[in-house]
Amino acid sequence: MKEEDFTIIEMEDILKTKEIADMTGLAQSTVRKYAQELEKAGYTFKKDETGRYYTKEDVIIFTQLKDIRDKAGIKVEHAADVVVTQYKRTTQNMSPSKVPTEMENQAIQIQQTKQYIQKLEEALQQQQEMISKLEERLERQEKHQDLRDESLTQVLREVAETKKMLAASKERKWYEFWK
């Protein structure tokens, strides 16, 4: 095989943002945003002096990211983490001769999505428990404040009564003044 033939094959595998967008059904701006999030999560794209370019493998990554976002309804950052983690696991466990099929990729993706959803549910349960504890504490504080308010009101009434009694005892009748 000549070097020219190798270059032609490589050029055919290079995809632009618009092509990725067309293949995945995403907007071009969304493809760029997803690419940035995937890079933050540790995925590397091929780059040249003009910027990123994509391969057919990247199409699968974008499709998985889109599917996770659609099915699980999670943020792009979290979905990118799931996809990159899944990608790293499959590439580490994969022998060069065994390329995962789409079904295997989807099964792995579903499993990881289930694990992520389970973690979210656990976090939600912990938050609900914390909320109920805080509600109980707030209730106790409100009862304490009500008792304090009642005590204060009672003391104020007693003080007012005492003042009246003092005023009444000190008050002299005008005719007693001359005595």
**What is the CATH code for 3-130?**
1.10.1660.10
Strand ranges (DSSP E) for 17-108? 46-48, 51-53
pLDDT of residue 140: 96
Pick from 28, 8, 11, 10: which is nearest to 19 by CA? Answer: 28
Per-10-residue mean pLDDT of the chain, 179 residues long, equals 42 76 88 88 83 84 85 82 81 58 77 85 92 96 96 95 82 59
Instruction: State the CB neighbour count (10 A cutoff) for residue 69.
Output: 20
pLDDT of residue 173: 61
pTM of the entire predicted model: 0.47
